[in-house]
Structure 1
């Protein structure tokens, strides 16, 4: 990686140092030529690794008896048995039990 500083420019080097900017872009583009193939190879390698990992995971699930459709059970949500039927759903801001509202 290389950093290039265009000292005579502020935020618009394309306008303020056009020739220098274009020279840097041309050099960058020429250095990058041919790298598209290596990037495509890397992408293909990563795709193949991901597929292999999925296959290995599936094999481990099958060996353990889980299979694809059997995901570990999700944690149960809050235990609803703590609330008694008819318990009010909201209280006034003061929390005065005489002023409790029902949802009915």
Structure 2
């Protein structure tokens, strides 16, 4: 683990500030990880080397994403999700062709 005073590479979320998406974000407004302003910018996700558009939630540092499991709903009417583990990379889509990428 790195110290707060230790310089980090530009690809880590803590170093790049507003140009890199957060380490953990969710599209569900009920979640504590929901951030509408950051989601409005558009976040691109690459999971296991493949770009995905069906991600409900992700954590870069923990290496997982949540995706909807078909059309199944839980008892509260929310989409049922499954957690997939692997390498996760994220970037803001509004920064052009070569945006800074957040990855573990």
TM-score of the pair, normalised by structure 2: 0.19
TM-score of the pair, normalised by structure 1: 0.19
Richer in helix (by share): 1
Richer in strand (by share): 2
Larger Rg: 1
Which structure's relative contact order is higher, taking Cα pairs within 8 Å and 6+ residues apart? 2
